[in-house]
Structure formats: structure tokens, C-alpha cells
Structure 1
Amino acid sequence: MSQDSLRERLLDGEPAIGTMQILNSAMVSEMIGVAGMDFVIYDQEHGPLSAETTLSLCAAAQNAGVAPIVRVRENSESEIQRALDIGSAGVQVPQVETREDAEAAVESARFDPLGSRGLSQYVRAGDYVGSPTYTEDQNDETLLVIQVEGERGVENIDEILEVDGIDVIFLGPYDISQSLGIPGQVTHERVEELMRRVCDKAVEQDTVVGAFADDVNTASKWIDAGVQYVDIGVEVALFTERLTEINDDITERID
């Protein structure tokens, strides 16, 4: 699938800004591209999207110049393979807590000699006909993001960072807060301390760090801490919040 490689840009040190999409709407994907964002994460873990519905969203995103990333439901070979075969720019794997978890994600997402991803080139990722360099191209262009989103994952971050084939360590503040027994308190000092610990270690290892942020101010804070792959919000929340602001504003004016 012909596209600019988000992976290459990140590994070259460029920042990337995106958002998460839950709605099954190609128009939403296009709007994210029109807005100028670098990537969109299709959330199959917490939303109703499937491989079938996500395929058309990937096409819409790529047509609008935004890289589609699929957050799969779990760290499994079949989930990761389907997410990549539909032609996404990469895959985001949740709940990685150990070196073994990280190695399993690499094994599923990379072709030989880096892994053992199931091979069929007659898929959208291979332009339906494949090529002599299909597996090499996929290994070079596919972004593998693993989510470290719990206290256990942070404790094992040194071993996780040793695994070859991972492009981005993504921090999920909501799950980190839950693992600490303070669910939803994403700005709590204990949550931020763990996130900064991962940022520092990843930067030392020259590994790209990603993180979720609810708003621009929070995103800026994490960019200053070394985060490069920045997911700002979820489209349904951004839409609802903006409509609420408009409604409150006009209601005040009427009153």
C-alpha cells in the first residue's frame, strides 16, 4: 500500500499528532486528515469497530493523507495479522506488561527474519497482488506500538525496552491510574511519576515514546517530557465537548 511511512518519520525524530476514532464513519476519518493530523487510531479494544469495518476507514484516512493505526482488542496473532493485512500503517497492542508480551507482539507483527507474521500477499496491504519485496516493505513501513499501561509494565520497562522490533512505547494514563488504585485520576502525581520514569528510560534507549492526552495543555506537557507520538483525545469526546461549549455559550447569550 503506497503511503508515506509514519514509522520512518518517527524514527527520524519527527513528532506526530493524532487522535482516536471509535465511530464507524469514513467521513470522520477524512475530517481527521483534512484537519492536518498525522495519524488516527482505530479503537477496536474499547469501541465497536472490527477488521471488516476498519478496512474502509483505512482507505478513507489514507486518501486524506493521514496514517491509520489499529488498536487491536488483545495481544494475539490473529488480531494483529488482520489489522495489518487490511492495509493499516501500523498496529497498537494493548496491555503489554512483560518482555514475553512484547516479544509476542513483535513475532505477530513482523515477517521473517524479525518475526513470523502469517503471510498472504493477496491482501490490501499487498495491493492484492503482492510483490517480490512485500515482506521487506512491510517490515520497513509498519509501525508497531505497544501500550505500557499498568504498574507491572512500568516495573518491567527495562526488559521491555530490550526487545527488538518495537517502534513506540505508548503510555496509557487511564489504565495506569487504575492499576494504582486511583482510577481516572490521570494527573495524579503517582501516575505522572510512572509515566515520566518510562519517558526517561525510553529516551535513554533512543526509543520513541507515545502517550494519550485529553487536551492540548496535557499533550504539550508530555511533549516536553520527550513524547513524540501524541494521541490527543477521542473523536466522540472532542465532538461532544465542542457541542457542549457551543450550547452553553448560546444559552448564556439568550438568557
Structure 2
Amino acid sequence: MPDTFTASTNALREKLTSGSPVFGTFCSIPHVTSAEALGGAGFDFVLVDAQHGAPTFDTLVQLIPAIQLGGAPSLIRLPWNDPALAMRALDLGAAGVVVPLISTRQDAERAATACRYPPSGIRSFGQVRGLSYGSTAATNDEVLCIAMIETAEGLENADAIASTPGVDGIFIGPVDLALSMGLPVDFTLSDPRLKEAMTAILEAGQRHDCPVGMPLFGIGMASGAIEAGYRFMTAGGDGGYIRMGAMGDITKLREIADGENR
């Protein structure tokens, strides 16, 4: 296996355990050029969205090394809590996986054991270009398994999920959580009931020394999230950055054109 695919430690894990805020962004476009640009933008990680984004497992073998070439590690948001998908993502070089819809301790155990080699888990050995940390035991210690809590049932079981061995962090899915609670979609996250639920998950993570993260729907949310104690956050994504940049320029160009015509 080429030396470029080996590492002594998982740099993202080190950052998460340092206590400082960690920032990532979403990769939803399955193209190596945009993936490399995201990897080189300075984020602590790039979250490849194989659940709701356009990337598929056929494209991960190109996207993961492109992001690494930019200088950032990759996390893969899986489409489902499927051990085969978790193992595949790690074999292809991801630093860890984000597993959606974790609602019970059993769900969390299923995800965590898929990410670890025996005796800690059920991961099958057969790396294609996966990161190796010197031994299967060392790899078990370095890989990241992030559980998404995004249902009312997951909220009720937050302590059980956060305390599950092998769960290295919790990522709150606030939109699906709100829907599961019977609340409307609101990207401001301002509903008191949703805020209370997110705080309960955050406090469960803190009780079990399990870092908790959330998406930022706007940079203005960052200060409050950091102050509250969230340890990792995502900001934006490739599609949104392209759209916002293009819209910003065309708006200015129209204003200039209108001014010239007066």
C-alpha cells in the first residue's frame, strides 16, 4: 500500500479531542475539481454527502483523494445505517463516517461495530486505499464514527447513544429532528421546543465526553453554537457557495448596469 495512504494519527480526531471548535463543509457535487477546491479552502474536514447530495459510492474513490489532495480529511455521510456502506467508505480512505437516523443504543452499536476490526467490531479487512494507522488495533482507535440524532426517539435515547462504546461524536440533524417532533421546517432553529431538544442532546454528549456538532444555517449562528458548547460545525457547501457567489456578482452587475442607464 502506498505510503501516502498511511498515517500515524487521525488529525481530525486530534482536533475534536483538543476541545477547540472544529469546522467543516459539505461536498454535494460529485466532481474532483470542486472537491479539491473544498479540501484546500482551510476547513478542518469535508463532509461528503452520500445521503442527500449527488455523490454516490461509485464517485467516492475519486472524491476522497481529491479532498485529501486539497489538504483536508473526509467524512462520509452514509445514506443509511448499513455496516457494508460504513466499511466501504473507510476502505476507500475516509477518516470516518457520519451515520444518519441513529435513534437507539442498538442503532449506535450497529454503526460503531461496523467501523472497528475484531475484537472491537465486525469490520472486514480489505483496504483498497483506506487510511492505515499501523495495525488494526491502532486503526480502531483512530477512525471516527459520528452518530446523527435527528428523531424524537433519538432525543429520548440521547444518553444511551452518547455513551455507546465506539461512538466518537454526535451530529444533530435539526431539520429532521423538528419534523419528527411535529414542528415545521425552520432553518433559523428558533422554535423554543427545538432549542430545548438540541440542548438536551448537547448536554447528553457533554455528560459522556462525546463531542456534539450541528450544521450552521448561516455564519451568524457560529458564535452562539460555540458559546453553547458545540464542538464541531458545518458551514455551507459547494453548491451553495457557487450559487451565492454567482448571485452576488450578477446582483452587483445589474446594479452597475442600471446606474449606467440612468
Question: What TM-score comes out, normalization by structure 1 length?
Answer: 0.92
| AA partner of residue 125 (structure 1) | G
Is this contact kept in 1: 2:163–2:210, CA < 8 A?
Answer: no
Counterparts of 1:1-255 in structure 2, within 5 Å, are 1-3=5-7, 4-121=10-127, 123-125=128-130, 133-186=134-187, 187=189, 188-255=191-258
What is the Cα deviation at residue 218 of structure 1? 1.3
Distance between the aligned counterparts of 2:40 and 2:107, measured in 1?
36
Identity among equivalent pairs (%): 33
Deviates more, 1:133-142 or 1:83-92: 133-142
Say whether the 8 Å CA contact 1:17–1:37 is kept in structure 2. yes
Q: 1:126 Cα deviation (Å)?
A: 5.5
Distance 1:78 1:154, change over 3 A: same
Asked whether the 8 Å contact 2:27–2:38 carries over to 1, the reply is no
Query: More deviation in 92-101 or 43-52?
Result: 43-52
In structure 2, stretches of 5+ residues that fail to align are none
> 1: CA distance between counterparts of 2:179 and 2:250?
33
- Rounded to whole Å, the distance in 1 between the matches of 2:222 and 2:214 is 8
Secondary structure of 2:117's partner?
A: coil
What letter is aligned with 2:6? S
Higher Rg of the two aligned structures = 2
Please list the CA deviations of residues 206-255 of structure 1 after superposition, one character each: whole Å capped at 9, or x if unmatched. 11111111211113221211111111122212221222222222212322
Aligned Cα root-mean-square deviation (Å): 1.7
Instruction: Report the Cα distance in structure 1 between the residues aligned to 2:226 and 2:119, rounded to whole angstroms.
Output: 34
Residues 192 and 246 of structure 1, relative CA distance in 2, 3 Å threshold: farther
Cα deviation per residue 1:189-212 (whole Å; 9 max; x = unaligned)?
Answer: 222221111112211221111111
SS state at 1:66 partner = coil
| 8 A Cα contact 1:6 1:141, kept in partner | no
Secondary structure of 1:42's counterpart equals strand
